[in-house]
Structure 1
Amino acid sequence: MTTHVITGAGSGIGAAVARRLHQRGDALVLLARDDARAEELGAAFPGSRVVVADLRRPELLADVELPERVDSLLLVAGVVDLGPVAELTTEVWQQNLAVNLLAPAELTRLALPALRAARGHVVFVNSGAGLRANAGWSAYAAAKHGLRALGDALRLEERSHGVRVTSVYPGRTATPMQAKIHAQEGREYVPGKWMTPESVATTILTALDLPRDAELTDLSLRPGP
Structure 2
Amino acid sequence: MGRMSTHVITGAGSGIGAAVARRLHARGDELVLHARDAARAKELAAEFPGARTLVGDLADPDRLSWAFSHQTMPERVDSLLHIAGVIDLGAVGDLTPKTWHHQLNVNLVAPAELTRHLLPQLRLAKGHVVFVNSGAGLTAHGEWGAYAASKHGLKALADALRHEEHDNGVRVTSVYPGRTASPMQAKVHQQEGKEYDPERWIDPESVATALVMALDLPRDAEVNDLSVRPGR
TM bin, normalised by shorter chain, reads over 0.9
Say whether residues 1:134 and 2:141 are aligned partners: yes
Structure 2: any 5+ residue segments left out of the alignment?
none
- Alignment counterpart, residue 18 of structure 1, candidates 11, 21, 26: 21
The CA distance in 1 between the partners of 2:39 and 2:95, in whole Å, is 30
For residue 110 of structure 2, what is the aligned residue in structure 1? Answer: 103
- Provide TM-score, normalisation by structure 1: 0.98
For residue 8 of structure 2, what is the aligned residue in structure 1? Answer: 5
The percentage of counterpart residues that share the same residue type is 69
The CA distance in 2 between the partners of 1:183 and 1:72, in whole Å, is 34
Amino acid in structure 2 at the alignment position of 1:139: A
Of 43-52 and 7-16, deviating more is 43-52
- Alignment counterpart, residue 92 of structure 2, candidates 85, 90, 93: 85
- Alignment counterpart, residue 45 of structure 2, candidates 19, 28, 42: 42
Q: Secondary structure at the match of 2:31?
A: strand
Deviations 1:38-90 (A, max 9, x none): 12101110110012211001112223242122000000000000000000011
The CA distance in 2 between the partners of 1:212 and 1:172, in whole Å, is 30
Amino acid in structure 1 at the alignment position of 2:83: V
The CA distance in 2 between the partners of 1:213 and 1:66, in whole Å, is 29
- Structure-to-structure mapping, 1:179-198, within 5 angstroms: 179-198=186-205
The CA distance in 1 between the partners of 2:182 and 2:95, in whole Å, is 24
The CA distance in 2 between the partners of 1:106 and 1:33, in whole Å, is 15
Amino acid in structure 2 at the alignment position of 1:17: V
- Alignment counterpart, residue 55 of structure 2, candidates 52, 55, 73: 52
Amino acid in structure 1 at the alignment position of 2:43: E
Structural RMSD (CA): 0.8
- Alignment counterpart, residue 201 of structure 1, candidates 200, 203, 208: 208
The CA distance in 1 between the partners of 2:54 and 2:113, in whole Å, is 16
Q: Between Structure 1 and Structure 2, how many residues are aligned?
A: 225
Q: Secondary structure at the match of 1:67?
A: coil
Deviations 1:4-30 (A, max 9, x none): 000000000000000000000110000
